[in-house]
């Protein structure tokens, strides 16, 4: 019998009450039951201090929590170290800077096609479209892949929330098929193959051998799931916040140099990524709860970044906070390697959005609808733009 056989659920993460306002629910859990058990997520950790402890102790809290190959997110040292060393090259400043003009062109053209309208449904009309389009562009995928990729991310989200294992397996197989086809095209082209990330991964070595196709699939899938969902959610959160705060909206138009810090602070308040997983390698006590070896743990980023023990007046927008306390991109050996790319993409998108508009307003009679786990932010976001 395991520890879990004796446990009663402390909360229900999939309940309507939680999904109606995830931020408020996680805030409540942080104060009422900072380490909580549920049938859906097993253990969840809500306090900033406890989450940092987990992040800084990968020997006790392993990243190998996935049932499937996950490169490098689901790996521990020393295996993780070698794969990550290979991957971080794709997020070096020169690569990010080289991609910025294309990213800006994608954002500007899309906005130009939309801004003749009085109203936008921002998530569908721009945020999700932009996230899919820039992900395809960064990987070197053809334009005709954007619509299948958009539909794939939606199906993946729905299956994850429902924990529909057969559907999740079929969706994973579908993505695998896309990547295998693109790899075959590049192999067939030989020296004439396009010089993009997908082709480059074919030339990478780990442990003295080329990457296997299943490893490339895993790398690209992890990037895609993380990139599309998080960038889309983040842009919705940012634009919604500015629509609610017109003075800040105008300040950022006139002082765009404030955008990088403003983006990080708004996303601290309204986190675009709900959680990541770990698995215990030994019995441990955290937050007064005893957890056995082999137990799954969810780190609730949104709650940690709103913890008043670390962030005074956590709901307030302030640019004088210690940026190192913000766990927007995690911390420790698994800190997000794609953070430089994500920051550039969000900054460029917001520069273009603010530059192409003079005013962004909410529509009171058509309020936004919230996203559900594993998503954050908004499912729909009607706005008036000028």
Mean per-residue pLDDT for 291-314?
97
Query: Does residue 7 register a pLDDT over 90?
Result: no
Q: What is the per-residue pLDDT for 1?
A: 34
pLDDT value of residue 162: 79
* Whole-structure pTM value: 0.93
**Residue 383 within any structural domain of the chain:** no
* pLDDT value of position 157: 81
What is the number of domains present in the chain? 1
What is the predicted pLDDT for the residue at 160?
A: 82
Q: Is residue 87 part of a domain?
A: yes
Say if 20 falls within a structural domain. Answer: yes
Helices 339-355, 213-244: axis angle to 10 degrees equals 40
Q: Residue 6 has what pLDDT?
A: 62
Determine the pLDDT at residue 72.
93
Residue 380 belongs to a domain: no
- CATH code, domain carrying 358: 1.10.630.10
Strand runs labelled E in 23-151: 35-38, 42-45, 61-62, 119-121
DSSP 3: G
**Would you place residue 2 in the very low, low, confident or very high pLDDT band (cuts 50, 70, 90)?**
very low
Determine the structural domain holding residue 51 and report its residue range. Answer: 3-366
Confidence at residue 156, expressed as pLDDT on a 0 to 100 scale: 85
The mean pLDDT value for 320-331 works out to: 96
Supply the pLDDT for residue 127: 96
When comparing pLDDT for 191 and 351, which is higher?
A: 351
Give the neighbor-by-neighbor strand order of the sheet with 119-121.
119-121, 382-385, 360-362
How confident is residue 98, by pLDDT bands cut at 50, 70 and 90? very high
What percent of the chain lies above the pLDDT cut of 90? 78
Average pLDDT over residues 346-371: 96
- The whole-number average pLDDT for the span 271-280 is 95
% of the chain exceeding 70 in pLDDT: 98
Residue 233 lies inside a defined structural domain of this protein: yes
Instruction: Write down the pLDDT at residue 89.
Output: 93
Contacts of 91 (CB under 8 A, 6+ apart): 337, 338, 339, 340, 341
Residue 367's pLDDT is what?
Answer: 95
pLDDT by residue (tens digit) across 148-199?
888 888 888 888 877 888 888 888 898 999 899 999 998 998 877 777 888 8
Whether 386 maps to a domain, the answer reads: no
261 pLDDT exceeds 80?
yes
Instruction: Look at residue 3 and tell me whether its pLDDT is greater than 50.
Output: no
Q: What is the pLDDT of residue 190?
A: 82
How many other C-beta atoms are found inside a 10 Å radius of the C-beta of residue 345?
27
**CB atoms closer than 10 angstroms to residue 357:** 17
Residue 5 confidence (pLDDT): 53
Which of 82-91, 158-167, 204-213, 272-281 shows the lowest per-residue confidence on average (mean pLDDT)? 158-167
Task: Give 136-157 pLDDT, tens digit per residue.
Answer: 999 989 899 888 888 888 888 8
From the number of C-beta atoms within 10 Å of its C-beta (0-12, 13-18, 19+), residue 386 rates as: exposed
Q: How many CB atoms lie within 10 A of CB 320?
A: 6
Is 69 contained in some domain? yes
Whether pLDDT at 318 is above 50: yes
Q: How confident is the model over 32-86, as pLDDT tens digits?
A: 999 999 999 999 999 999 999 999 999 999 999 888 889 999 999 999 999 999 9
Average pLDDT rounded to a whole number, residues 374-382: 94
SS3 386: coil
230 pLDDT more than 70: yes
- If you average pLDDT over residues 17-35, what whole number do you get? 96
Q: Is residue 245 part of a domain?
A: yes
């Amino acid at each position: 019998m395991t520890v879990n056989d004796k446990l009663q659920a402390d909360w229900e993460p999939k309940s309507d009450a939680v999904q109606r306002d995830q931020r408020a629910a996680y805030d409540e859990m942080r104060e009422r039951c900072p380490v909580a058990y549920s049938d859906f997520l097993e253990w969840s950790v809500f306090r900033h201090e406890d989450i940092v402890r987990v992040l800084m102790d990968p020997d006790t809290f392993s990243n190998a929590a996935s049932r499937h190959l996950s490169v490098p997110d689901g790996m521990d040292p020393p295996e993780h170290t070698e794969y990550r060393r290979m991957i971080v090259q794709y997020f070096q400043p020169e690569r990010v800077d080289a991609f910025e003009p294309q990213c800006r062109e994608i954002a500007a053209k899309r906005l130009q096609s939309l801004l003749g309208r009085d109203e936008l449904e921002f998530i569908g009309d721009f945020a999700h479209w932009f996230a899919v389009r820039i992900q395809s562009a960064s990987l070197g995928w053809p334009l005709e892949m954007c619509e299948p990729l958009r539909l794939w991310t939606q199906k993946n989200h729905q299956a994850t929330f429902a924990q529909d294992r057969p559907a999740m397996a079929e969706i994973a197989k579908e993505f695998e098929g896309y990547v295998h086809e693109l790899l075959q095209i590049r192999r067939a082209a030989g020296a004439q193959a396009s010089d993009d990330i997908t082709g480059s991964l074919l030339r990478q070595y780990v442990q003295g051998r080329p990457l296997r196709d299943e490893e490339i699939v895993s790398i690209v899938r992890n990037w895609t799931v993380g990139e599309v969902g998080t960038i889309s959610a983040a842009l919705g959160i940012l634009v919604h916040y500015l629509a609610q705060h017109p003075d800040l909206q105008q300040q950022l138009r006139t002082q765009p140099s404030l955008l990088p810090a403003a983006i990080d602070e708004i996303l601290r308040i309204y986190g675009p990524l709900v959680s990541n997983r770990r698995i215990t390698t030994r019995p441990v006590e955290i937050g007064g709860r005893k957890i056995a070896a082999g137990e799954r743990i969810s780190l609730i980023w949104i709650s940690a970044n709103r913890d008043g023990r670390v962030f005074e007046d956590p709901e307030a927008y302030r640019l004088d906070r210690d940026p190192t306390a913000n766990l927007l991109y995690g911390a420790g050996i698994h800190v997000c390697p794609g953070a430089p790319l994500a920051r550039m993409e969000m900054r460029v998108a917001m520069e273009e959005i603010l530059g192409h508009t003079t005013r962004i307003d909410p529509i009171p009679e058509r309020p936004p609808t919230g996203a559900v786990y594993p998503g954050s932010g908004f499912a729909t976001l009607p706005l008036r733009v000028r």
